[in-house]
Amino acid sequence: MSDPQHPHSVETSAQGSSQGASLDELGGRISKARHGAGLDKSAEELGELERGAGADLSAAWRISIEIVVALVVCTAIGWALDYWFGTKPWLMLLFLFLGGAAGINNAVRTALRMDAQAAEVMQRKAQTKASTAKKE
């Protein structure tokens, strides 16, 4: 991909991890300036996109697929191992429960992440609302 070096995103395309600390400082200053200018909308935009058409459906897909995939694939692995070792139902049963646990594990983690993201967006919204109220 080409390197769009337009002036508007110089701050995001800055390279080099060796100066990590100074970059972080610069990033902090930029976000502060953007916040002051009322340009701090990226998280909100992401939230809007997520809440757009089909977003609830996609959230449901995101979580349910974790459970279904882990359960089905782990059970299949158990079945295959049984087939190899000739221990007919036992490994399949073991992997059925392990798969269920792994699926729930991934699903809960996804849900917690989505929760944290939503909370962050709401917090940011409240902040911008408060700052605009202060200006007026």
Partner 1 sequence: MSADRHIDHSSPMHQFVIGRLNDWQLGGLDISFSKAAAFMFGAVIVATLFLVLTTSKRSMVPGRWQSVSELWYEFIADMIKETIGSDGRKYFPFVFSLFSFIVMCNLLGMLPYAYTVTSHIAVTITLALSVFILTTFIGITRHGTHFLSFFVPKGVPLVMLFLVVPIEVLSYFMRPISHSVRLFANMTAGHTMLKVFGAFVVQMGVFGVLPFALIVALTGLEVAIAVLQAYVFTILTCLYLNDAIHLEH
Residues that bind partner 1 (CB under 8 A): 1-2, 4-9, 12-15, 17, 20, 23-24, 27, 42-43, 46, 49-50, 52-55, 57-58, 61-62, 65-66, 69-70, 73-74, 98-99, 101-103, 105-106, 109, 113
DSSP string covering 48-69: HHHHSTTHHHHHHHHHHHHHHH
Smallest separation (angstroms) from partner 1 to the CB of 37: 15
* Residue 27, C-beta contacts closer than 8 angstroms, at least 6 positions apart: 11
Smallest separation (angstroms) from partner 1 to the CB of 25: 10
Name the residue nearer to partner 1 (CB basis): 64 or 134: 64
Cα–Cα dist 102/98, whole Å: 6
Smallest separation (angstroms) from partner 1 to the CB of 46: 7
Name the residue nearer to partner 1 (CB basis): 8 or 134: 8
8-state DSSP, 87: -
